[in-house]
């Protein structure tokens, strides 16, 4: 068995059948595991069960947070930007940048949740709560503008 002590793992869909098994293995290996899902009761229940059965530290985080992604190229790198969260990542292809951004956003949410600051951050970014779930800001428009500049 491998040792993941002092490591953090985020498992999206961790309350599902496959996610549960992955989360359990990570917790048993010593990782601090954050499982995410859309159903708060199920996620919290599964996290408690995993903590008991694995002996590890497992937290359940309800996440169904929509965000818009912009991707552009700078030289050989592709940059992915999550709006309005203002989180960026990069990769050598649009797919790689998108995947790196997804991982960064999930880790950001898990860390902010652990620190107790996730609600404040989301509210500052324009998200709001409805019936216990976060609702993303309503986009009025996403536009591309240009201007002339002489240098």
Domain residue ranges of the chain, discontinuous segments joined by +: 8-62, 68-125
Query: With contact defined as beta carbons under 8 Å apart, do 82 and 100 qualify?
Result: no
| 70-116 residue pLDDT tens | 999 999 999 999 887 889 999 999 999 999 998 888 888 878 877 77
Torsion angle of the four alpha carbons 119, 120, 126, 128, in this order, in degrees rounded to the nearest 10: 40
Q: How far apart are CA 99 and CA 18, in angstroms?
A: 20
Q: Output the average pLDDT for the chain.
A: 85
Predicted pLDDT at 85: 83
Q: C-alpha 65: how far from its chain's center?
A: 9
Predicted pLDDT at 1: 59
> What is the reported pTM?
0.57
pLDDT band at 4 (very low <50, low <70, confident <90, very high): confident
Angle (CA) 65-85-99 rounded to 5° is 70
Predicted pLDDT at 83: 83
């Amino acid at each position: 068995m491998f040792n993941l002590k002092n490591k953090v793992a985020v498992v999206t869909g961790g309350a599902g059948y496959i996610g549960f098994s992955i989360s359990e293995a990570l917790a048993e290996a010593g990782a601090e595991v954050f499982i995410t899902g859309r159903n708060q009761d199920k996620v919290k229940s599964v996290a408690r069960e995993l903590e008991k059965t694995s002996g590890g530290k497992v937290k359940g985080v309800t996440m169904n947070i929509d965000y818009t992604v912009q991707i552009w190229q700078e030289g050989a790198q592709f940059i992915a930007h999550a709006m309005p969260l203002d989180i960026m990542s990069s990769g050598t292809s649009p797919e790689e940048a998108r995947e790196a951004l997804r991982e960064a956003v999930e880790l950001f949410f898990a860390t902010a949740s652990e620190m107790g600051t996730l609600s404040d951050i989301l509210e500052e970014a324009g998200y709001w709560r409805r019936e216990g779930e976060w609702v993303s800001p309503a986009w009025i428009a996403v536009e591309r503008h240009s201007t002339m500049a002489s240098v």
